[in-house]
Amino acid sequence: MKKVIVHIGSQETGEREIQHTLAINQEFLAENRIIYSGFHPAVENHIKLAYGLLKEALEKTGHLSEFPQLEKSDWNADRVLQEIFAEEGTTYVLSF
């Protein structure tokens, strides 16, 4: 069974430390069947992913033109799901 853990931390609550710790321990986590997303290996948080998911919602409601900074994001729910189900780990972690 697949498990997905989504961590959503607001700014200044230690979210970067959590993301940093997950990122530097990806190998150990993978050995224990826990996958920390490889969306942005060079960037430890998933802000672009969050923007992509927000972009998708705004497109569906017709409000994307109000947020031109999101138009360039290439992340979407389908891409997230593809990565989740492509990995062999039983637990998948996303952190925003």
Q: What is the pLDDT of residue 46?
A: 61
Q: Give the pair of three-digit tokens for residue 59.
A: 């497109």
d(CA 7, CA 16): 11
Residue 1 · residue 91 · CB < 8 Å: no
d(CA 35, CA 22): 9
Q: What is the pLDDT of residue 28?
A: 93
Q: What is the pLDDT of residue 42?
A: 45
Strands 3-7 and 91-95 come out as parallel
| CA distances, 5 to each of 70, 89, 91, 94 (Å) | 25, 12, 7, 6
How confident is the prediction along the chain (96 residues), in pLDDT tens digits per residue? 788 888 777 777 777 788 888 888 988 998 998 888 765 554 545 666 677 778 888 888 998 888 887 777 666 677 777 777 876 668 888 877
